[in-house]
Amino acid sequence: MNFVSDHLYGIHGTVLAAICSANTALTSPSYSADDWTARAAKLMNGVFERDVETRLVSTGTIANAMALASLVRPFNAVLAYCDAHIIVDECGAVEFYSGGARTLGIKEPRGKITAAGLEARLKGFVRAEHDPVPSAVSITQSSELGTVYTVEEVAAIAEVARAHGMKVHMDGARFANAVASLGCAPAEVTWKAGVDVLSFGTTKNGTMGVDAIVFFDRDLAAGFAHRQLQAGQLMSKSRFLGAQMEAYLTNDLWLDNARKANANATRLAEGIKDATDLRLPLGAEANQLFPIVSRRLYDHLIAAGAQFAVWPGVGSLIDQPSEDEVQIRLVTSFNTRQEDIDAFIAAVHAAGVQ
Amino acid sequence: MNFVSDHLYGIHGTVLAAICSANTALTSPSYSADDWTARAAKLMNGVFERDVETRLVSTGTIANAMALASLVRPFNAVLAYCDAHIIVDECGAVEFYSGGARTLGIKEPRGKITAAGLEARLKGFVRAEHDPVPSAVSITQSSELGTVYTVEEVAAIAEVARAHGMKVHMDGARFANAVASLGCAPAEVTWKAGVDVLSFGTTKNGTMGVDAIVFFDRDLAAGFAHRQLQAGQLMSKSRFLGAQMEAYLTNDLWLDNARKANANATRLAEGIKDATDLRLPLGAEANQLFPIVSRRLYDHLIAAGAQFAVWPGVGSLIDQPSEDEVQIRLVTSFNTRQEDIDAFIAAVHAAGVQ
Amino acid sequence: MNFVSDHLYGIHGTVLAAICSANTALTSPSYSADDWTARAAKLMNGVFERDVETRLVSTGTIANAMALASLVRPFNAVLAYCDAHIIVDECGAVEFYSGGARTLGIKEPRGKITAAGLEARLKGFVRAEHDPVPSAVSITQSSELGTVYTVEEVAAIAEVARAHGMKVHMDGARFANAVASLGCAPAEVTWKAGVDVLSFGTTKNGTMGVDAIVFFDRDLAAGFAHRQLQAGQLMSKSRFLGAQMEAYLTNDLWLDNARKANANATRLAEGIKDATDLRLPLGAEANQLFPIVSRRLYDHLIAAGAQFAVWPGVGSLIDQPSEDEVQIRLVTSFNTRQEDIDAFIAAVHAAGVQ
Amino acid sequence: MNFVSDHLYGIHGTVLAAICSANTALTSPSYSADDWTARAAKLMNGVFERDVETRLVSTGTIANAMALASLVRPFNAVLAYCDAHIIVDECGAVEFYSGGARTLGIKEPRGKITAAGLEARLKGFVRAEHDPVPSAVSITQSSELGTVYTVEEVAAIAEVARAHGMKVHMDGARFANAVASLGCAPAEVTWKAGVDVLSFGTTKNGTMGVDAIVFFDRDLAAGFAHRQLQAGQLMSKSRFLGAQMEAYLTNDLWLDNARKANANATRLAEGIKDATDLRLPLGAEANQLFPIVSRRLYDHLIAAGAQFAVWPGVGSLIDQPSEDEVQIRLVTSFNTRQEDIDAFIAAVHAAGVQ
């Protein structure tokens, strides 16, 4: 009953097979000059229905930090949701990679920044040169609270950003889950809505460890291979990153996995939402649930062997836990076991009848 | 009637005379090897009753950022009051000089962090390696809201810091005003209370532009001359910084100036505190006042030609302005004119009787 | 006939099998808390006959840059061979990760810095605070010119370093090849000889992509997990890095592979050393050869389909190519094909008889 | 007899008077919003016969590092003469301010890089993404060896730079001396010849401590006020920087001073050039001389009380000191005493007749 994170689960069989297959070539060019990386890039063009610049790196944190470092200068600021991964979970990676740019948070009720919230936050930059210049906004899709930005919401944020001379970054650590949830074309919710650069995550959704930075505006990627090398992120055996990404994008494996993960979350949500001592204020939009549970239920679940995180962030402002409650996070993966979901649901209800 | 900031006022005559006098030497060694700098360092030892490492730089922002860069590594965090100058007014200087360390704020009611507030904030570092390591706390003396830390308050904060392996920095942009207000020995409220490094500001209190970084623990200053050079802060004509500091420290000019500035603030506070449409929730502890005034009074004062800032920060949590009110900041200097103080007081009361 | 680099070759079967095996666990803790990483760390302790701090990262450039960033401050300098990988091949990674420290080269005849050369270079720091403070020396084992430092050479360099308050880093991108060549215990040529931190490379020698930073002095690793996270180098699916390293260290696979690679180089050297139009001034100490060949031979080899690099560095000072010659680099791997070696030898001799 | 550096001499009387005069205003706007700074900027437009962006900072190192940080990204390289101040005398300031960009040297015979030398150096960037991208060239006018670039030489270098997509920075720590030497319009040898950004030094030539960064292309200065604030280089009492610069530019004081300094060097050169045991391979183009003297003469001069530096750099390649010789540097200032020059000349000749 492991609902701690989707990244605890392993590699999808098809992806692992691709790694093995790539190893049958005796030699291969390095530093992204290999055929697998080339084919993956071509597939990415297909996914987004346009020519994009795809750069493969090893983690989502690097994808975010290097994408944003391409958009900002040291005296700039990046605006994001107050508990965005880039603000509270990456140990200052943006500050480090950018050489000093600040990440500044916007408090919002549902884990998603809004165009109005962004506009209001920008009005707070009243200190002239004492303030950093806000030059990028980063939105997480799906969000740190499991919610999903609609195409319209992204477009509205991007419009505000554009009006203030800011670039738009999307942290897509769970981009697949968002697209699967929306059922829209990837292009619709990214560049067509005004996104400039996307961290296209795959690691949580079936690969061993590769994330892509997708530049929709190729000018923003000028010199990026050098930046990658300097950061130690241009791998010599790049074929194995390329192979993972190729397999991930082939035959919509990425969307299939995400649909499964989302379906698991939906099933879990359906099973628990009417339980005693539990509320689901944000519903089940992708593959993360944030129930507010009583301490009693919490203790019962732990005793039953369930594994999950207590949410350290502010959570949903529309419904906050009381003193006797705690907000937890449940994450499902494409290969979360059905019996684990059933067992968790049973444990929740068992607690209710004790 | 200029109460915008003490740094708008000029150079004290004695300090300017010292600059002129230092120029009578045909040549002088550079890069802090001059006699004036040596004498200033010796005077600083006297001020603090011990051997300290004194390094002269050109602004308070540099003093803060370079002092803190000596205490932290890029994956560390500096804790301070939520509206500390280093957090909201220095455009990310700490992030830049440290190469990525984060400044994280603690919200407190009176502009001063408390030992309890620090302890509570430290409990929030629950994300393991995802969080930066809190390695320094910075306290502003006197604070951004004009309040002054008592010796006991500083010691209590330092004790918490020490228990968590953190260093203590004091942003003393208005250190003189704080010492003058406390009436204690400078040593009492700094190293004896647990402060490791002090930004000893002078620019707001009568010099042309020189601040000292005072390292009470000299080991923390290892290699600092190189850091200064690299930052472009080891001046060739250092005698003119040394001369300013020497004059500033001689015959307690620094304390005399601060006492005058504080007295001006006190006089101003006394004159306005009972006025209609005005409250002074934080009193007059040093040389800054933060009245909450009605919009009507605000408009009247502007019309009367008064100059001051509307406070962009959170202000005092113990008494927040209503919708019809605004929090303003009034800063006095050692050479604020008495007639300006009188005129401002009169304007405040004139508004009340209209 | 691919002798461009050992990193063009793939993953050793045993390592790939370990990746596949690690995937059979449904879930596993992340961020280096997994069992594979723990076992790899234990094996590393065995390799070095002491308790060491082992941190896994994804490339050799990151290993070098993050190891050195742990040893230096922004106003420091790292000394290394003039054509050291960290100076000429990593696009300023040390400068970036350290936030400004400089890498400064020492020209030496055989690709290895010497104690005398280091001592002489240190005498050049005569500019006081205008110079960065030399705080680390980095030696590449085996070197960029394929030579191998003896235990005595390392110890002599470390002694000079120690006398000047400097730390010693070893860039062991081809550490296995050096140890295999020396036939000594890994401990002898590292910490027992005075090395503080080692970049323990594996990627060129049979893994998919994992290098270890081995801290012999654990104090130097304080806070390193945070540094890793900030750099995006604490992988969520860390079990797959751990599994690679575990397999690599088990049953001396790392040394077996290195011995094979070295033997391939020796065989190649033996086959070509007496050829017309070719000299091997530096012999065959590990798995890299740097022949000086005539332009005629060079053209012939290219025409015959051989792949290799023209060396862009200064090469061996004891024997420099003439105008009509070119210095090339031939690298062998554990799985370089014997027929390719034979074909290359034949091509060299065929050119000679034309 | 102090010929160590021009920056050892003090403030010109007119400049000091301007500081005093600026202090007569009770208050003044801060952070470069003052009238003196505005007038200085206007005068700078006049100097360069066009609208330029003038930013005042406190040292030449900051001017260089912040100017270059505006031109490069962390994965870029700045090319300059091998012993350029930015490479050997600023403790890695460019690396620090740029967050990792490298400064790479070009060895040239007369202290000046040449268009041909630059072109040749650029051909050395053969390592693809392993090399930083050369994005700026920095030329020092007058040079570190006291030579002066002609307008044609600057234009030729700028043409090569432009062809390679590089920007051109001029380190004008002794710009006045170069212009005085050339007798050309400042515009001719800067923007009209292809210079993008100039560090306009004044401190060595009569001010107390203020250098200007002059952006000829204002787009390069976008956001610069924030960069200044973040670096702690936006001074609160900016009127005193502005006043110095205003006085320095008024009535050609800057050129008068430079002409005097140059004349002093010429007079010194004339007096010593025919002496025994002394050669002046580079002549006397501005205000620095680099004689090669015998050890015997060197000892004699020291004994006679002369003060000067032994040159730690490579010096002129056209005439290198032998084992028994040493290259020294003699710098003259606008207020070097004539009797000191005479005394030095006498000492040189006295040594010859002993």
pLDDT in tens, B109-130: 999 999 999 999 999 999 999 9
What's residue B233's pLDDT? 97
Residue of C nearest to D97 (CA): C100
- Predicted local confidence at residue A351, as pLDDT: 83
Specify whether the CB–CB gap between C169 and C196 falls below 8 A: yes
Residue range D193-213: mean pLDDT, rounded: 98
Beta-bridge partners for A307? A2
Size (chain A), residues: 354
Residues in chain A closer than 8 A to D129 (CB atoms) = 31, 225-226, 228-229, 234
Q: Is the pLDDT of residue D60 over 80?
A: yes
The tokens for C146 are: 């394929």
For D89, which of C91, C100, C130 is closest by C-beta distance? C130
Tens digit of each residue's pLDDT (9 = 90 or more) over A252-280 = 999 999 999 999 999 999 999 999 999 99
Mutation pick from C75, C127, C234, C236 vs chain B, by most beta carbons of B within 10 Å, is C75
Is the CB of residue A131 less than 8 Å away from at least one CB of chain D? yes
Mean residue pLDDT across chain D = 97
The pLDDT value recorded for residue B311 is 96
| Residues B76/B133, Cβ–Cβ less than 8 Å | yes
Number of Cβ within 10 Å of residue C84's Cβ equals: 26
CB contacts of A77 in chain B (<8 Å) are: 92
User: How many C-beta atoms lie closer than 10 Å to residue D104's C-beta?
Assistant: 17
Q: Which pLDDT value is given to residue D177?
A: 98
Structure tokens at D97: 């301010």
Q: Residue A17: in which H helix or E strand, if any?
A: helix A13-22
**pLDDT surpasses 70 at A53:** yes
| Amino acid letter, C87 | I
pLDDT-derived band at C354 (thresholds 50, 70, 90) equals low
Is residue D133 pLDDT above 80, yes or no?
Answer: yes
The interface residues of chain B toward chain D in range 89-128, judged by CB-CB distance below 8 A, are 90-93, 96, 99
Helix, strand, coil percentages (3-state) for chain D, rounded to 5, are 45, 15, 40
Q: Are the CB atoms for C179 and C258 separated by under 8 Å?
A: yes
Q: What is the rounded average pLDDT for all residues in chain C?
A: 97
Instruction: Provide, as residue numbers in chain D, all residues whose Cβ is less than 8 Å from the Cβ of B4.
Output: 27
Question: Which of C208, C211, C336 is most worth mutating to test chain A (most A CB atoms within 10 A of its CB)?
Answer: C208
Minimal C-alpha gap between D262 and chain B (Å): 18
Cα dihedral C39, C43, C48, C51 sign: positive
- D130 CB near a chain C CB, below 8 Å? yes
- With beta carbons under 8 A apart, name residues in chain A contacting D133: 223, 226
Per-residue pLDDT tens for C254-287?
999 999 999 999 999 999 999 999 999 999 999 9
* pLDDT value at residue C352: 67
CA distance D208 to D210: 7
Per-residue pLDDT for D351 more than 90?
Answer: no
Give residue B351's pLDDT.
83
Question: A75 to chain D: which residues are within 8 Å by CB?
Answer: 223, 226-227, 229-230
Report the residue from B77, B91, B130 with minimal CB separation from A89. B130
Residues 187-206 of C with CB under 8 A from A: 203-204
Could you say which of B75, B131, B230 has the minimum Cβ distance to residue C75? Answer: B230
b/e burial code for range D116-146 (CB count within 10 A of at least 16 → b): ebbbebbeebeeebbbbbbbbbbbbbbbbbb
pLDDT (average), residues C220-228: 97
Considering only the beta carbons, identify the residue of B31, B223, B234 that sits closest to C73: B223
Comparing CB atoms, the residue among A130, A223, A225 nearest residue D229 is A130
Buried (b) or exposed (e) across C97-130, using 16+ Cβ within 10 A?
Answer: bbbbbbbbbbebbbbbbbbebbbebbeebeeebb
| CB-CB contact of A130 with B88 (8 Å) | yes
Cα dist from C182 to B1, B13, D347, whole Å? 81, 73, 61
Q: Among B96, B127, B312, select the one facing A127 at the smallest CB separation.
A: B312
Residue D227 has pLDDT above 70, yes or no: yes
- Chain B hits for A124, CB-CB cut-off 8 Å, are 312
Q: Quick check: D138 pLDDT over 70?
A: yes
Chain B contact set for D57 (CB, 8 A): 232
Distance from CA of D4 to the nearest CA of A (A): 37
Rounded CA-CA distance D84/D96 in Å is: 17
Cβ B74–C230 below 8 Å, yes or no? Answer: yes
Model confidence at B352: pLDDT above 70: no
Greatest pairwise CA separation for chain D in angstroms:
63
Which of left, alpha, beta for C210 (phi over 0: left; psi -120 to 50: alpha)?
Answer: beta
Angle at C103 between CA D68 and CA C128, to 5 degrees: 80
pLDDT value for B353:
64
Dig out the tokens for A124 from the structure: 């707070």
* pLDDT band of C229, cuts 50, 70, 90: very high
Q: What is the pLDDT of residues B148-205, one digit of tens each?
A: 999 999 999 999 999 999 999 999 999 999 999 999 999 999 999 999 999 999 999 9
C-alpha B173/C-alpha B156 separation (Å) is 21
Q: Mean pLDDT, to the nearest integer, of D217-242?
A: 97
Give me the pLDDT at residue D316, please.
87
| Alpha-carbon distances, residue B316 vs B146, B312, B313, C91, D112 (angstroms) | 11, 12, 9, 49, 60
DSSP state of B193: G
Quote the pLDDT of residue A302: 97
Kind plus residue range of the DSSP H or E element containing C258:
helix C253-272
Report the pLDDT value the prediction gives residue A125, as an integer from 0 to 100. 96
Report the residue from C8, C29, C58 with minimal CB separation from A8: C29
Q: Per-residue pLDDT tens for A62-83?
A: 999 999 999 999 999 999 999 9
**In the prediction, which pLDDT does B135 show?**
98
Find the residue in D nearest to A129 (Cα): D226
Contacts of D252 (CB under 8 A, 6+ apart): none
Reduced to 3 states, what is the DSSP secondary structure of residue B197? strand
CB-based contact B185:B49 (threshold 8 Å)? yes
Chain B nearest-CA distance from A24, in A, is 37
Window 212-241 of C: residues touching A by CB (8 A cutoff) are 226, 229-237, 240
Q: Find the residue in C nearest to A209 (Cα).
A: C237
Q: Which of A317-321, B63-67, B246-250, C267-271 has the lowest mean pLDDT?
A: A317-321
Cβ separation C127–D74 shorter than 8 A:
no
pLDDT at B354 over 60: no
Torsion of CA D84, D87, D89, D92, to 10 degrees: 160
Residue B275 has pLDDT above 90, yes or no: yes
Query: Which residue among C24, C203, C237 places its CB closest to the CB of A7?
Result: C237
Strand-by-strand arrangement of the A133-140 sheet: A53-57, A211-215, A197-200, A167-172, A133-140, A76-81, A102-106
Q: What percent of chain A has pLDDT over 90?
A: 98
